[in-house]
Structure 1
Amino acid sequence: MPEITKSVKFDNIAREWRCKWSADNDKASLNAAQQALEDVLADLSSVEGVNSVQRVVCGGCLDFKVVTKLTAAGFGEWEKAKFAPEEEFLAKLKGIKGIQAVETQTYTLEEVKMNKKDIKKAQEKKEKEAPKAEEKPAEDPAKKLKKVLKEGGKRGVEIEGAADMGGLQFFCTSVDEPEGDVDLLKKCVEAMNAKSDPNEEERKGGSGHIGKMVFSAGAEQLAVLAYVPEEKQPELVCEEWLEKVLSTQPGHKILSKAKDYCTGTIATNADKGVFPLKIREGLILEANNFLRKKGLFPEDDGDDDDECVFGDDDFPS
């Protein structure tokens, strides 16, 4: 197979005849060029080795082109015959009023469209060779835990204050740092429940006497933890509370059960429109409504100042 470079090889050569036509007189020159082609088309199509004869007409740049494609061997023989009927055709074009820039050009012309089998191979190769997206380096576990505990400790003080002002026994909210990790969420809630040290410059925790349901959204799931302190367990079953809330969404799981702490998750499901951030606030409402039915949460009297549904926006960062 002839080649121009090692990667650019060819089996076919094309001879192009071209000119510019005029739109004057209702495109008379274009009609005349077409007639000139038809006059030589039988002879051109009969040339040994011809694979195709194509006509190109552009109404924008006013091109008229005839492209004759031959095998490399056939082209050599045609070249010896001076590309007949080229001379006849070009002479006719030059005699047409409105026709300009009559030219010829020779180039290789190859069909490079892939079949379905080759397309599949090329796509598989591309996928294998494609550079993998740079993964975000995992955060140092110790630093991550420190952030989780700090958020939990701070949120615990806020919950204690909000509960004292509103007379709340239970509190439903969300946290950010665990990012959907159930183990980190439990650490965060434990920090909320830790006893406050009055000698510390910045108080932390202090809300262990308040029952809670805490939500943490991640990319793959929404982590949920229910906490019921010992003195409130006769009034509320921790597992029952969590199950009621999670059961409102598909793809939920109960991961751990105890009288004080229960955990579960709801998996992200794009097909069903389940996204952790999207469903989180609705589940906080669901958790509060369950408490209301048991008489463990203040009834909504319609006064916005007494609103008791809490999410991230209810606490300053």
Structure 2
Amino acid sequence: MPEIVKGVKFENVAREWRLKWSEDNDKASLSAAQAALDDVLAELSSLEAVSSVQRVVCGGCHDFKVVTKLSAAAFGDWEKSSFEPEAEFLAKIKAIAGVSVVETQTYTLEEVKLNKKDAKKAMDKKAAEAEKAAEAADDKPKPPEDPAKKLKKVLKEGGKRGVEIEGAADMGGLQFFCTSVDEPEGDVDLLVHCVAAMNEKSDPTEEERKGGSGNVGKMVFSCGLGQLAVCAYVPDDKQGELDCAAWLEKVLSLYRYEMITKDKSVSSGIIPTDSEKNIFPLKIRESLILEANNYLRKLGLFPEDNGDSDDDMVFGDDDFPS
């Protein structure tokens, strides 16, 4: 198996075609890009040793990507043929009004997902190492970060995540979304500010869009050393379908918890770290996100998880938790 550096081995190579599409004319350029892909999809799918052809569409950054994956052994033969039908596809999309930044790229592409048993072992090890590192840290208190600077970071992250959620909701028809943020670091008040930034009305005159997801219900998680902070938000027009406080309390109740605020629009709470019971924010976060989504599914407010692996739509460049 080829190895780039020690530990970085690969068996597969992918060719990516990408472009930016426009919102103009009811996203006509996106429709045209899809039609161009449809014209060459049969040829791509028939390539020798092709293992997958994936399409990635981002409603926030307007990416349209086609990723064709082959074995490393077979990729060389495709490269010799100039990646047919690449030239045909690129010519078509370059002629589409509203399409820009047409590029190609070659890279290795490997499946690195762990099975459930190995993933649990790795997470347990990571949590134990984090606990050990915290205990070994210098007892001397570190000077706190300037509150104004910290809040600015929190609002920036919230604004950016709001755009991503808006794009995902527009493309996937989602009414509710569960995700996590880093900057609040388990601080409930900062997390509430972060969610508010996600919900701010987007200003189209600004150079960098932010917010815009106020119409999407959401539950947002933030990990700190001492606690996991969670904030739930339900828009006014969805409060007849979902009780904000009840949703949050159901999720938190999997562990020892404290509700900080209860409101029909925004509710918040925490789960304290408990090293004796092996409860650490990073370790429990994903199971709580799953619980939040399952609660929505029972109310018919979130798509059923039917295990369909044919869904090739990926929203956003960042990693959105489940």
Displacement of 1:302 in angstroms is: 1.1
Displacement of 1:310 in angstroms is: 9.8
8 Å Cα contact 2:167/2:316 also seen in 1: no
Pair 1:197 & 2:203 matched: yes
State which of 208, 215, 227 in structure 1 corresponds to 2:233: 227
Pair 1:261 & 2:263 matched: no
8 Å Cα contact 1:216/1:222 also seen in 2: yes
8 Å Cα contact 1:192/1:205 also seen in 2: yes
Given the superposition, is the C-alpha separation of residues 170 and 208 from structure 1 closer, same or farther in structure 2, using an over 3 Å criterion?
A: same
Deviations 1:32-78 (A, max 9, x none): xxxxxxxxxxxxxxxxxxxxxxxxxxxxxxxxxxxxxxxxxxxxxxx
Given the superposition, is the C-alpha separation of residues 216 and 168 from structure 1 closer, same or farther in structure 2, using an over 3 Å criterion?
A: same
State which of 271, 275, 278 in structure 2 corresponds to 1:270: 275
Pair 1:149 & 2:147 matched: no
Deviations 1:259-315 (A, max 9, x none): 100000000000111100000011000000000000000011212454999999625
Specify the structure having the higher radius of gyration (Cα).
1
Pair 1:172 & 2:175 matched: no
8 Å Cα contact 1:186/1:225 also seen in 2: yes
Q: For structure 1, list consecutive stretches of 5 or more residues without a partner in the other structure.
A: 1-131
**Other structure's SS at 2:151 match:** helix
Kindly provide the amino acid, as one letter, of the partner of residue 280 in structure 2. F
Structure-2 separation of matches of 1:232 and 1:298 = 16
Kindly provide the amino acid, as one letter, of the partner of residue 300 in structure 2. G
Pair 1:252 & 2:225 matched: no
Structure-1 separation of matches of 2:316 and 2:286 = 7
Given the superposition, is the C-alpha separation of residues 281 and 306 from structure 1 closer, same or farther in structure 2, using an over 3 Å criterion?
A: farther
Displacement of 1:195 in angstroms is: 0.1
Instruction: Give the match for residue 24 of structure 2.
Output: none
- 5 Å matches for 1:31-180? 133-180=139-186
Q: CA RMSD in A?
A: 2.3
Instruction: Give the match for residue 181 of structure 1.
Output: 187
Given the superposition, is the C-alpha separation of residues 139 and 256 from structure 1 closer, same or farther in structure 2, using an over 3 Å criterion?
A: same
**Other structure's SS at 2:221 match:** strand
**Other structure's SS at 1:314 match:** coil
Structure-2 separation of matches of 1:298 and 1:245 = 18
8 Å Cα contact 2:179/2:320 also seen in 1: no
Kindly provide the amino acid, as one letter, of the partner of residue 154 in structure 1. K
Instruction: Give the match for residue 65 of structure 1.
Output: none
Structure-2 separation of matches of 1:283 and 1:310 = 21
Given the superposition, is the C-alpha separation of residues 305 and 263 from structure 1 closer, same or farther in structure 2, using an over 3 Å criterion?
A: farther
Given the superposition, is the C-alpha separation of residues 163 and 233 from structure 1 closer, same or farther in structure 2, using an over 3 Å criterion?
A: same
Structure-1 separation of matches of 2:257 and 2:232 = 14
TM-score by length of 2: 0.54
8 Å Cα contact 1:281/1:311 also seen in 2: no
8 Å Cα contact 1:269/1:275 also seen in 2: yes
Structure-2 separation of matches of 1:202 and 1:255 = 33
Identity score, percent: 73
Displacement of 1:180 in angstroms is: 0.3
Structure-1 separation of matches of 2:310 and 2:295 = 22
TM-score by length of 1: 0.55
Structure-2 separation of matches of 1:274 and 1:312 = 30
